[in-house]
Structure 1
Amino acid sequence: MLMSHSGRPAKLHYMANGFRVLASGDHVVCAVTGDKIPLDHLRYWSVARQEPYASAEISVRAELDR
């Protein structure tokens, strides 16, 4: 039987040019807004803080707030 990871958050390791999946899932949660981000839509993250962001604006806001 195939196992579905639908609805389950993935655990990722963020790198400069991509990410590595550490635990399977279909989304991650934005570190600022708490919104679910499907893995195929994930474009913004912080390598230093190892956290994902839902948009470029949110990633800039996170950087300025720190």
Structure 2
Amino acid sequence: MLMSSKNKVARLHYMANNFRMLTAGDHVICAVTGQAIALDELRYWSVVKQEPYVSAEASTRAALAKG
């Protein structure tokens, strides 16, 4: 029986131009806001921090944060 990945958080490896799915799922959680991001809507992430972001604003906030 196939396991459904609907309503499950995916685990991804973020690369410069795309990402690779490590664990099946249909969304990730923004590292800044905690919002769910559907994989087909994911546009912003950090390769260095390996974190997804819901928007350019959230990405900028993460980049400017200490740590």
Q: What interval of TM-score do these two structures reach, taking the shorter chain for normalisation?
A: over 0.9
Please list every run of 5 or more consecutive structure 2 residues that lacks an aligned counterpart in the other structure: none
Return structure 1 stretches of 4+ with deviation > 4 angstroms.
none
- Structure 2 SS opposite 1:13: strand
The normalised TM-score by structure 2 is 0.93
Taking only aligned residues, the RMSD between alpha carbons, in angstroms, comes to: 0.8
Aligned residues: 66
Counterpart residue number, 1:44? 44
Q: CA deviation at 1:2?
A: 3.3
Q: CA deviation at 1:3?
A: 2.3
Query: In percent, how many aligned pairs have the same letter?
Result: 65
Please list every run of 5 or more consecutive structure 1 residues that lacks an aligned counterpart in the other structure: none
Residue type matched to 1:11 in 2?
R
Counterpart residue number, 2:35? 35
